[in-house]
């Protein structure tokens, strides 16, 4: 989609903080995340395990895991309305209709003892009352929309009778049945084979073109980012350290972490030598440094990096990086 | 690459699993042809990549090489010796020579055993030496995989995922194997850790001259690691070639589809894209003729009638497809 075809901002996240309050201390898993998402846009959220990308998604859905997780600061503006202030009952109306989510493992997203039809019916009945035959007709339509062959037969089947790729399509059909403006996809293709993954990504793109929904695509796979996203946000230790258009991030990454991360991905072309690695470990989220969080592993580190967290620097068109060493555009 | 006898030879191997109904008077309903007439060689000190999607038979093939599964037909030879005839001491010696590292380092280490003990296990079983010598060897192995010798006293939960995979590798290296089966060794690891592990595997190969069978679905990983690559689909080899030759000149339509599923991932690469329709058919009732014909964009009438044989299209590069006859 061309930039001028994109519409208004549908989701804006400002300074989001979600921490785990444990007896051992406070785990600052999401610690000051801000980004925005426009209609018809796909924003990739990438980072390694434990960087806080999935918890960011759950914070947006207000579905935090039990056991001390709490969003303590920030705003999540869905069409200008801060959903962090909504009551649980109001949230139930918002989820599925205005913001929806697809998770990594379709096996656990579907209930094994209900048929596909029943699970779609549940989603459809949440937003409208109609006779059973009409709802089932709509369920068949929903399956057809996600390219499931012979939906009339599939509707009576159970999750175990479907392949992984098909299950993920059913999950997708349920997620978009309420025509949400924002879809959060948390590693939806990680469990799928590569050829099936390509089919699924193409399906998502097509559905997006039809509905104009905005997608927040969480992944650790740069290949998927290149295929799917318009913009990418790179997360490290609870914060977004760089954000910009896909092409710029791939061709001219600015933040040393993004650079190292991209360099360490084995490529399909070019020379085969030793892969670049990032030495060391990310800092403990319980004991974050005052300065830049990547400082302990950064090849360019200097004193000011340790003293204070760098401000966001505009390094190009719609491209920002949190680093003392980058040159402002 | 030296000529002569390969380290491991897989010769026309088939593995069919019976699909039965009932318990006492079980009726055989059919056979799942998990691996069907597969042949390849692995040379000493070399890496062979085995690529394909779920259900292609790559895991069954590696289980047969590990002597955990017996082939229905065909044979596997290590240094010229058929491995499925081995018994007793000879089998024990085989297990020392062929080791494995699996995908999930969580489940391959005993959570109640100090990692030093896990690593020492194969040394103890093979009565390699007294306790002091074994301890010394364990410390050596830990250093070799980039860990600290005192970490022998720690339990698996004290390690990160990447470190656990290093422990699993140290345990595999303990008996000084000639071949290590690496089943998706890096796919559970984060990008930056993955690169460390791949570098380590290459370093160890250069030092110890150990051969790897790398079972993987990620083509870029295979490209960086493997000398030769075998591509499987529904129990059959569809293409095998030196890795460089395969990546320069992909021939089989299925391999092309696999490649385009990843290649286009990097923006700006407007290559010919082969998208496959549908899913992998059931191996219980595989399509007649070429097993790929139901999804192949270049399908021709006789593809469904007769199975294409592997044919050499350029030196060392074999393809099973009628497009190249």
Q: Give the C-alpha separation, B320 to B235, whole Å.
A: 13
Phi, psi of B28 (to 5 degrees): -85, 120
B219-228: pLDDT as tens digits: 989 999 999 9
Is the minimum CB–CB distance between A89 and chain B shorter than 8 Å? no
**pLDDT computed for residue B1 by the predictor:** 42
Q: How many other CB atoms are found less than 10 A from the CB of residue A227?
A: 25
- Contact across the interface for A268 and B223, Cβ inside 8 Å: yes
Q: How many other CB atoms are found less than 10 A from the CB of residue A7?
A: 12
Burial class (CB in 10 A: 0-12, 13-18, 19+), A1: middle
Identify the closest residue of chain A to B224 by CA–CA distance: A272
Minimum distance, in Å, between the CA of residue B261 and any CA atom of chain A: 6
Q: Which residues of A touch B197 (CB under 8 A)?
A: none
Q: What is the CATH number of the domain that holds B314?
A: 3.40.50.300
Number of domains in chain B: 1
Q: Where are the alpha helices (H) located in chain A, listed in sequence order?
A: 53-61, 88-94, 106-109, 116-125, 132-145, 151-154, 164-176, 194-211, 222-228, 246-251, 256-263, 303-307
All residues at 6 or more sequence positions from A76 whose CB lies less than 8 Å from its CB, including other chains: A11, A12, A13, A14, A16, A59, A60, A82, A83, A84
Q: How many other CB atoms are found less than 10 A from the CB of residue B201?
A: 24
Q: Give the C-alpha separation, A169 to B287, whole Å.
A: 25
Is the minimum CB–CB distance between B257 and chain A shorter than 8 Å? yes
Paired tokens of B83: 């491995």
Nearest to B190 among A49, A196, A227 (CB): A49
Number of domains in chain A: 1
Is the minimum CB–CB distance between A252 and chain B shorter than 8 Å? no
Nearest to B261 among A198, A246, A247 (CB): A198
Choose, out of A200, A230, A266, the residue to mutate when testing the contact with B (most B CBs < 10 Å): A266
Q: Give the C-alpha separation, B208 to B66, whole Å.
A: 20
- Does the residue B103 lie in any domain? yes
Q: How many other CB atoms are found less than 10 A from the CB of residue A322?
A: 24
- Does the residue A95 lie in any domain? no
- Does the residue A195 lie in any domain? no
Query: In the predicted model, what is the mean pLDDT of chain A?
Result: 92
Identify the closest residue of chain A to B246 by CA–CA distance: A268
Q: Give the C-alpha separation, A252 to A261, whole Å.
A: 13
- Supply the Cα-derived Rg of chain A in whole angstroms: 21
Minimum distance, in Å, between the CA of residue A261 and any CA atom of chain B: 6
Domain residue limits at A327? 230-329
Q: Give the C-alpha separation, A12 to B20, whole Å.
A: 56
Is the minimum CB–CB distance between B26 and chain A shorter than 8 Å? no
Nearest to A261 among B192, B224, B275 (CB): B192
Nearest to B220 among A48, A261, A266 (CB): A266
| pLDDT interval class at B2 (50, 70, 90) | very low
Q: Which residues of A touch B190 (CB under 8 A)?
A: 48-49, 220
Identify the closest residue of chain B to A247 by CA–CA distance: B267
**pLDDT computed for residue A3 by the predictor:** 46
**What end-to-end distance do the CA atoms of chain A give, in Å?**
26
Quick check: helix, strand or coil at residue A321? strand
Is the minimum CB–CB distance between B16 and chain A shorter than 8 Å? no
CB of A295 within 8 A of CB of A223? no
Q: Give the C-alpha separation, B223 to A164, whole Å.
A: 27
From the list A276, A267, A224, the residue with the least C-alpha distance to B222 is A267
Q: How many other CB atoms are found less than 10 A from the CB of residue A327?
A: 8
Identify the closest residue of chain B to A201 by CA–CA distance: B261
Q: Give the C-alpha separation, A120 to A142, whole Å.
A: 8
**pLDDT computed for residue A243 by the predictor:** 97
- Supply the Cα-derived Rg of chain B in whole angstroms: 21
Interface of A with B in 34-53 (CB under 8 A): 48-49
Is the minimum CB–CB distance between A222 and chain B shorter than 8 Å? yes
* Per-residue tens of pLDDT for chain A, all 329 residues: 444 445 799 999 999 999 999 999 999 999 999 999 999 999 999 998 889 999 999 999 999 998 889 999 999 999 999 999 999 999 999 999 999 999 988 888 999 999 999 999 998 988 888 899 999 999 999 999 998 988 999 999 999 999 888 999 999 999 999 899 999 999 998 888 888 888 899 999 999 999 999 999 999 888 889 889 999 999 999 999 999 999 999 989 999 999 999 988 888 888 888 888 888 888 999 999 999 999 999 999 999 999 999 999 999 999 999 999 999 98
- Does the residue A56 lie in any domain? no
From the list B184, B226, B254, B57, the residue with the least C-alpha distance to A195 is B254
Is B10 a residue whose pLDDT tops 50? Answer: yes
**pLDDT computed for residue A1 by the predictor:** 43
Identify the closest residue of chain B to A251 by CA–CA distance: B267
Quick check: helix, strand or coil at residue A202? helix
Q: Give the C-alpha separation, A221 to B48, whole Å.
A: 24
Q: With residue B132 as reference, give the H or E element that holds it.
A: helix B131-144
- Does the residue A296 lie in any domain? yes
**pLDDT computed for residue B22 by the predictor:** 80
CB of A217 within 8 A of CB of A285? no
Is B265 a residue whose pLDDT tops 70? Answer: no
Percent of chain B scoring above 70 in pLDDT: 96
Is the minimum CB–CB distance between A194 and chain B shorter than 8 Å? yes
Choose, out of B267, B272, B283, B284, the residue to mutate when testing the contact with A (most A CBs < 10 Å): B267
Among the ranges given (B28-32, B147-151, B251-255), the one the predictor scored with the smallest mean pLDDT: B28-32
CB of A323 within 8 A of CB of A314? no
Q: Give the C-alpha separation, B238 to B321, whole Å.
A: 8
Percent of chain A scoring above 70 in pLDDT: 98
Minimum distance, in Å, between the CA of residue B270 and any CA atom of chain A: 11
Q: Are strands A182-186 and A99-102 parallel, antiparallel or unpaired?
A: parallel
Is B264 a residue whose pLDDT tops 70? Answer: no
Is the minimum CB–CB distance between A266 and chain B shorter than 8 Å? yes
Q: Which residues of B touch A198 (CB under 8 A)?
A: 260-261, 275-276
- Does the residue A91 lie in any domain? no
Q: Which residues of A touch B247 (CB under 8 A)?
A: 268
Is the minimum CB–CB distance between A268 and chain B shorter than 8 Å? yes
The residues that bridge with A31 in the sheet, in sequence order, are A17
CB of A55 within 8 A of CB of A17? no
| pLDDT interval class at B271 (50, 70, 90) | low
**pLDDT computed for residue A226 by the predictor:** 87
**pLDDT computed for residue B5 by the predictor:** 86
Domain residue limits at B95? 8-324
The residues that bridge with B185 in the sheet, in sequence order, are none
Q: Give the C-alpha separation, B127 to B149, whole Å.
A: 22
Quick check: helix, strand or coil at residue B181? strand
**pLDDT computed for residue B188 by the predictor:** 83
Is the minimum CB–CB distance between A73 and chain B shorter than 8 Å? no
Is the minimum CB–CB distance between B28 and chain A shorter than 8 Å? no
- Contact across the interface for B220 and A193, Cβ inside 8 Å: no
The residues that bridge with B8 in the sheet, in sequence order, are B42, B78
Q: Give the C-alpha separation, A7 to B247, whole Å.
A: 41
Quick check: helix, strand or coil at residue B63? helix
- Does the residue B254 lie in any domain? yes
């Amino acid at each position: 989609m061309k930039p001028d075809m994109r519409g208004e901002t549908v989701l804006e996240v400002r300074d989001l903080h979600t921490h785990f309050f444990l007896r051992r201390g406070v785990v600052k898993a999401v610690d000051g995340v801000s980004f925005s998402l426009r209609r018809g846009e796909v924003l990739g959220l990438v980072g390694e395990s434990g960087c806080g990308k999935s918890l960011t998604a759950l914070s947006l859905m207000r579905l935090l895991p039990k056991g001390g997780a709490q969003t303590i600061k920030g705003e999540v503006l869905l069409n200008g309305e801060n959903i962090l202030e909504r009551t649980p009952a109001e949230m139930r109306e918002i989820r599925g209709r205005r913001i929806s989510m697809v998770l990594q493992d379709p096996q656990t997203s579907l209930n094994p003892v209900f048929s596909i039809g029943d699970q779609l019916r549940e989603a459809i009945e949440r937003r409208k009352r109609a006779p059973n035959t009409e709802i089932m007709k709509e369920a068949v339509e929903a399956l057809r929309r996600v390219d499931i062959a012979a939906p009339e037969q599939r509707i009576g089947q159970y999750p175990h009778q479907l392949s992984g790729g098909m299950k993920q399509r059913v999950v997708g059909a349920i997620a978009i049945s309420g025509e949400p403006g924002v879809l959060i996809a948390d590693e939806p293709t990680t469990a799928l084979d590569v050829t099936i993954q390509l089919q699924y990504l193409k399906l998502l793109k097509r559905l997006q073109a039809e509905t104009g929904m905005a997608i927040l695509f969480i992944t650790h796979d740069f290949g998927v980012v290149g295929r799917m996203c318009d913009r990418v946000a790179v997360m490290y230790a609870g914060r977004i350290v760089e954000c910009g258009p896909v092409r710029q991030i791939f061709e001219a990454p600015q933040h040393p972490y993004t650079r190292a991360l991209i360099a360490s991905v084995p490529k399909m072309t070019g020379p085969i030598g030793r892969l670049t690695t990032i030495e060391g470990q990310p800092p403990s989220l319980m004991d974050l440094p005052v300065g830049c969080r990547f400082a302990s592993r950064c090849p360019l580190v200097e004193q000011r990096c340790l003293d204070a967290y760098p401000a966001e620097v505009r390094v190009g068109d719609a491209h920002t990086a949190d680093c003392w060493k980058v040159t402002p555009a | 690459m030296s000529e002569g006898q390969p380290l491991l030879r897989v010769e026309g191997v088939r593995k069919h699993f019976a699909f039965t109904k009932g318990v006492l008077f079980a009726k055989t309903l059919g056979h799942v042809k998990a691996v069907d007439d597969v042949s390849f060689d692995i040379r000493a000190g070399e890496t062979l990549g085995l690529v394909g999607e779920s259900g292609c038979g790559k895991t069954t093939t590696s289980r047969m090489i590990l002597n955990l599964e017996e082939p229905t037909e065909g044979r596997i030879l290590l240094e010229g010796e058929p491995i499925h005839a081995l018994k007793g001491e000879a089998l024990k010696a085989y297990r020392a020579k062929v080791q494995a590292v699996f995908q999930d380092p969580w489940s391959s280490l005993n959570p109640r055993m100090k990692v030093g003990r896990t690593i020492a296990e194969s040394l103890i079983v093979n009565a390699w030496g007294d306790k002091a010598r074994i301890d010394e060897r364990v410390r050596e192995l830990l250093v070799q995989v980039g860990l600290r010798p005192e970490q022998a006293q720690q339990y698996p939960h004290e390690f990160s995922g990447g470190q656990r995979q290093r422990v699993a590798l140290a345990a595999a290296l303990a008996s000084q194997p000639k071949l290590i089966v690496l089943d998706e060794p890096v796919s559970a690891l984060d990008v930056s850790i993955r690169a460390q592990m791949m570098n380590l595997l290459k370093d160890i190969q250069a030092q110890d001259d150990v051969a790897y069978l790398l079972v993987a679905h990620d083509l870029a990983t295979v490209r960086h690691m493997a000398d030769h690559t075998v591509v499987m689909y529904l129990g059959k080899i569809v293409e095998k070639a030196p890795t460089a030759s395969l990546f320069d000149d992909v021939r089989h339509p299925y391999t092309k589809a696999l490649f385009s599923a990843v290649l286009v991932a990097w923006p700006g690469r407007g290559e010919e894209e082969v998208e496959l329709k549908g899913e992998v058919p059931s191996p219980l009732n595989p399509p007649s003729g070429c097993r790929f014909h139901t999804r192949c964009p270049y399908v021709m009438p006789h593809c469904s009638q007769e199975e294409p044989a592997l044919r050499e299209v350029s030196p060392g590069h074999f393809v099973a497809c009628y497009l190249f006859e």
